[in-house]
Amino acid sequence: MTFSVIARDAGTGDLGIAVSSCILAVGRAVPNVRPGVGVVAVQARSRRGLGGSLLTGLAEGVMPEDLVRRAAHAAEDVDRQIAVLDAAGRVAADTGRGSLPASGHVLGDGFSVQGNMLASAEVLPAMSQAFTATGGTLADRLLAALTAGQDAGGDLRGRQSAALQVVSGSPATDEDDGVRIDLRVDDSGDPVAQLRMLRNLQRAYDERDYETLAVFAPEGARDLYAALAASRRGDREAARKALEAVRTRPGWATWLASMAGDSRLSAVSRLLG
């Protein structure tokens, strides 16, 4: 009772999944990801442990097509819907006969879209077309596909949750866990829109886009980001005013004093100096 897209970015090797459903916390139920190994979506009436088993198979070098074939012949998995993508971009999917209509999957070059209990037969083609037609990062393309699926009707029952995960195509190390994006909307009237907002907010954090953060970051931190934004554009007076607003918040004056001379917040240090 879900629609999702899994894909590999041919340029970076990153792997990802975006999913939405009218269930609570779909990000806990459907996505299974492992850096350097692959991405699995388990939907419909799939066993909760199936995703982990499929990832283990990928880690052992089994081809996605073979993993899907095995699941399709397992008596306990006749109701499932699964999609499997490995780190090389090989992908396979299957919609079990017990999946709730309308349901199905569409395979493409390095990606797959799948869904069941959909509002219309247009959901999956719309997702596939949006993914292939959209430029930008893998996260952008995944979200474009998810948005197109929602716009085409999405889950027949309505909207509740969504999730976006992107991991590296290389195995995790002690220095890098391989997780690029892990965002979830567990309960919302418009989870796909909320997920897009969270993605934009994370982009602002990653790129130190202080102008955006001064508007959309949590209220308690907005004045700090406003100070950083003003400092970056050379408006020292506006930066100082924003810092004075920060000082009025309980606890912040002590924190600001501790940051004087700290290279991690060089812009703040210059304003305080």
CA gap 88, 239 in Å, rounded: 48
pTM: 0.90
For 94-132, write each residue's pLDDT tens digit: 987 756 678 899 999 999 999 988 888 999 999 999 999
How much of the chain exceeds pLDDT 90, in percent?
66
148: its two tokens: 């197109």
Please write the tens of the pLDDT for every residue from 8-54.
999 999 999 999 999 999 999 999 999 999 999 999 877 778 899 99
pLDDT at residue 75 is higher than 70: no
Contact of 163 with 26, CB cutoff 8 Å: yes
- Asked if 38 and 165 touch (Cβ cutoff 8 Å), the reply is no
CA distance 217 to 232: 17
| Domains located in the chain, CATH noted | 2-206 (3.60.20.10), 210-272 (no CATH)
Across 4-8, 59-63, 252-256, least confident range: 252-256
C-alpha dihedral sign at 113, 99, 26, 47: negative
Which residue do the tokens 């699926």 mark? 149
Burial code of 7-21, b = ≥16 C-beta within 10 A, e = fewer?
Answer: bbbeeeebbbbbbbb
Query: Which residue has 């017990």 as its token pair?
Result: 98
Task: Read off the tokens for 216.
Answer: 């959309």
Other CB atoms within a 10 A radius of the CB of residue 101 amount to 10
